[in-house]
Each structure stands twice: as structure tokens, then as C-alpha cells.
Amino acid sequence: MTLKQLENLVTIDQDITNPEFGINYDQRTTEQLLEYGLILIDKPPGPTSHEVVAWTKRILNISKAGHSGTLDPQVSGVLPLGLGEGTKALGVLLLGPKEYMALGRLHSLPSKEKLQQTLDLFKGEIFQKPPQRSAVVRQTRIRTIYELELLEQKERLILLRVLCEAGTYIRKLYYDIGEILSFGGSMIELRRSKVHQFSEDQLVTMHELADAYSTWKESGDGSKLNKIILPIEHTLSEIKSVVIRDSAIDSLCHGAQLAIPGVLQISPNLKQNDLVAIYSQKGEVVALAEALLSESEIKENIKGYAFKTKRIIMKPSTYPKSWRTSSPPKE
């Protein structure tokens, strides 16, 4: 199955891939998914995000895992976890919006018209100062509220759906709404329902994860666990893509920049400075990079650097070394 982000690419050149190296991204074994995987956990209220990561590492018996977008202990919902080298791709999710379902209480009962007028004031760019108990420096910053919808109201209780930029404090948003209404308001309960392209219908619980891992270890059947662990490439579906030759992969894994001769396909409308994910011909993510040239410039030239490597994801020596180093000078 072709990844969404690798469909309808612009072809720069053609090549064949060696089946002896690497593996199709959707044919990884369970062990390989534990190294290049993504789990969408339904975080319960209570534990911290770091505790969920620690529990996941113990359940799966792995040494490396991480999360994208910290949830406060009392907040539930979507918590993406990267496994192994897959942790290096999680930062991309911070570029996209997040959606929350937030239940709050107003300290007095406004008219429906007044409430809606007030909510409308908070759509678009707003100024926010993080609360005193936060993990970041308390300085005023700009955040964007893309959508703010009143889902339900029961007396002074209101349920809001908030689609916002990463780093928006929903508890502070409720406080500010109450201030504008002049009689105050506070948040009671919060659930994150979406992180970028990932939503609630894709979540698994810690119990389901533990059960699937036990089944794999006890019977050797990894089918349940393989459905829970997604290929890490799914994290990168919303940024532009580049497909490269097998011969260019190992040099990138050692930190080299990507030159035009190594490029096979690129996303249409590629612009200079765009963040891109670089893939093998089998769909495996190799690295994250910054475009140094636009689509037209790559088409028009046959040499020169096209992409600057920013984050290496694939382990070196996954593909054979095809690049040469200069010989030491003779004495």
C-alpha cells in the first residue's frame, strides 16, 4: 500500500531498488515496528505524559520511546508515542493543530447572544500568558484559535470544541472568556480529541497494548500488536516528500546533504525552505530535511545540493555504503 504522501509525486529520474536491503514500510516485522513505530495512546486522567511513556517502555520491553505534545495529568485523550528511532519524527506533529473538548463552568449565566459574541472574539490570533504552574517560561505569546464552537450549554456549564495551534492553554482560554464576560469562568474537564491528522477513533488503551504484547510473547502471534503499532511514516503525511536512490541513503544516514543526482521524486509545488521527509523507494523514512531549491530549480539542474539534512531517522548501514571518501594524502 502506497503512503498518502508518496502519491502523485513529480518524477525527476527513475531507478530500481535492491530487495536485499531495507524493507517495504508496511511489511516490517513486530521487532522492526518496535524500532520505527508510532502508537496513539488514549491517555487516561491521572498519570503524567512521562509516566505513560515509562509504562509503555516497560510493557514493550524497549529502551527508547517518547511522546509528542505534553498532556497535564488530569487531561485525557490523544497522546502520540514514538518508538525507537521513530521518536525523531514526532516533532513534525507540533507543526499541526490540536483539537480539544473542554467542559467549563461560568460563574454567572450570560445570554446566548452575549456568550456567542464573546466566543467569537477568541477566534483567530490571541495573546496568552502561560499559567503559573506550567512547563514553559511565563511570557506573553501569540497563539491561533482556528475554530471555537459551543457544542452544548446546560445552565452555567458549557462544552466547547477548540481547534487551535500547538501550545495553546485551554484552561487559560476559559479564564479569559470569563474575564471578558466580567463574571469569571473556569475549566472543569479537558480531553484532547485530535493531534494534527490523528483523531480519537485511532486510539488504543494501555490495557490493549499490554494484552497485545503478551499475546505476541506467549504465542508468537504479533498480528494484534502490529495493528496497534503504526509505521512511523504515518506521522509525516502532512509535509512534503522526496524519494531517493538506494545509493544516496547511507550517506544521508551519516549526515551528508542530498544532491540532485540522488533525487528520484519530489512533491509538486516544492519551495525553497520547505520541510520535507526523505524516503527510500520502499517508503521507509530516511531523514527530515530542508529544501535548498524549488521544484523548478531541481528540474532545471543536474548537480548541486537540493536538500539540507535536519534530522536523521534511519540507522546507518541499513543500506550499503555507495559513497566514496577521499584518500589520505601520500607521504
Task: Write the pLDDT tens digit of every residue in 230-286.
Answer: 999 999 999 999 999 999 999 999 999 999 999 999 999 999 999 999 999 999 999
Query: Is 295:14 a contact under the CB 8 Å cutoff?
Result: no
In degrees to the nearest 10, what's the CA dihedral of 293, 297, 300, 303? -20
Q: In the prediction, which pLDDT does 327 show?
A: 44
Alpha-carbon gap, residue 245 to 263, rounded angstroms: 7
Which is more confident, 92 or 135? 92
- Average pLDDT on 53-82 reads 96
- Average pLDDT on 158-167 reads 96
Half-sphere exposure at residue 292, Cβ-oriented, CA atoms within 13 angstroms: 13
**What pLDDT band is residue 134 in, cutting at 50, 70 and 90?**
low
Alpha-carbon gap, residue 313 to 302, rounded angstroms: 27
Q: Residue 20 carries which DSSP code? A: T
- Residue found under cell 566514496: 324
Predicted model pTM: 0.91
Which is more confident, 138 or 145? 145
Q: Which of 26, 72, 201, 211 is catalytic?
A: 72
Q: Residue 97 carries which DSSP code? A: -
Q: In the prediction, which pLDDT does 210 show?
A: 98
Q: Residue 32 carries which DSSP code? A: H
Give yes or no for residue 331 having a pLDDT over 50. Answer: no
Alpha helix ranges (H) inside the chain: 30-33, 49-60, 112-121, 170-181, 206-219, 223-228, 246-253, 295-300
Domains of the chain: 4-25+233-312 (2.30.130.10), 35-94+199-228 (3.30.2350.10), 97-195 (3.30.70.3190)
Q: In the prediction, which pLDDT does 188 show?
A: 96
Catalytic site includes residue 72: yes
Give yes or no for residue 326 having a pLDDT over 60. Answer: no
Sheet holding 10-11, edge to edge: 10-11, 263-266, 240-244, 275-279, 285-291, 305-312, 258-259
